[in-house]
Amino acid sequence: MTKDDDLLVIEDLRVSFPGKGWRAAPNEVLKGVSLNVRRGETLGLVGGSGSGKTTIGRAVLGLVPVGSGGITFAGERIERATGRRRRLLSRDIQVVFQDPYTSLNPSLTIGDTLSEPLRAQGQGRAGARRRVGDLLERVGLPADAASRLPREFSGGQRQRVAIARALAIGPKLIVCDEPVSALDLTTRKTVLDLFLEIQERTGVSYLFVSHDLAVIRYISHRVAVIHHGEIVETGEAAEVTTRPRHPYTRNLLLSAPVADVAGQRARREAFERAYAGPNTSAER
Partner 1 sequence: MSETPPPAAARRSGAARRVLRNPLGLGSALVLAVIVAAVLLAPVLSPQDPDLASLRDSFGGPGPGHPLGLDSAGRDIASRLLYGGRATLGGAVLAVLVALAAGVPAGLLAGYRGGRVDAAANWVVNLVMALPAMVVLLACRAILGPTVWVLMVVLGLLVAPAFFRLVRGIVAGVRNELYVDAARVSGLSGTRIVARHVLVVVRGPIIIQTALVAGIAIGLQAGLEFLGIGSGSAPTWGAMLNEAFKNIQRAPGMIVWPGLALGLTNASLVLLAAALRDALEDRGTPPARRRPRPPKAAPPPGGEPGRAGLLSVRGLTVAYALADGRSKQVVHGVDLDVRAGEIVGLVGESGSGKTQTAFSILGILPEGGHVGAGSVTVEGLEIVGLPERAHRALRGNAVAYIPQEPMSNLDPSFTVGAQLMEPMRHRLGISRAEARRRALDLLRMVEITEPERVFGSYPHEISGGMAQRVLIAGAMSCDPGLLIADEPTTALDVMVQAEVLGLLRRLQRERGLGVLLVTHDLGVVADVCDRVAVMHDGRIVETDTAEQVLSDPRDPYTRRLLGAVLDHAPARAPWQPAAEETV
Q: Which residues in 193-222 contact partner 1 (CB under 8 A)?
A: 202-203, 211, 213-215, 217-222
Among 118, 72, 95, residue whose Cα is nearest residue 206 = 95
Size of the site for partner 1 (CB under 8 A): 89
Build a one-symbol-per-residue string for 9-28: x at contacts with partner 1 by CB under 8 A, - elsewhere: --------------------
Please identify which residue in 120, 134, 243, 279 interacts with partner 1, judged by CB under 8 A. 120
* Tally of residues, the chain: 284
Binding segment for partner 1 (CB under 8 A), chosen from 24-32, 36-44, 74-82, 124-132, is 36-44
136 binds partner 1 (CB under 8 A): no
Which is it for strands 222-227 and 230-236: parallel, antiparallel or unpaired?
Answer: antiparallel
Name the DSSP class of 143.
G
97 binds partner 1 (CB under 8 A): yes
184 binds partner 1 (CB under 8 A): yes
* Backbone φ, ψ for residue 21 (5° rounding): 90, 170
Question: Residue 13 CB, nearest distance to partner 1 (Å)?
Answer: 18
- The burial class, CB within 10 Å (0-12 / 13-18 / 19+), for 148 is middle
Please identify which residue in 19, 127, 170, 277 interacts with partner 1, judged by CB under 8 A. 170
Toward partner 1, which CB reaches closer, 12 or 154? Answer: 154
Spacing of C-alpha 101 from chain mean position: 17
163 binds partner 1 (CB under 8 A): no
- The burial class, CB within 10 Å (0-12 / 13-18 / 19+), for 243 is exposed
Toward partner 1, which CB reaches closer, 94 or 157? Answer: 94
CB-based contacts of 97, cutoff 8 Å, min separation 6: 103, 162, 177, 178, 179
Please identify which residue in 31, 39, 138, 228 interacts with partner 1, judged by CB under 8 A. 39
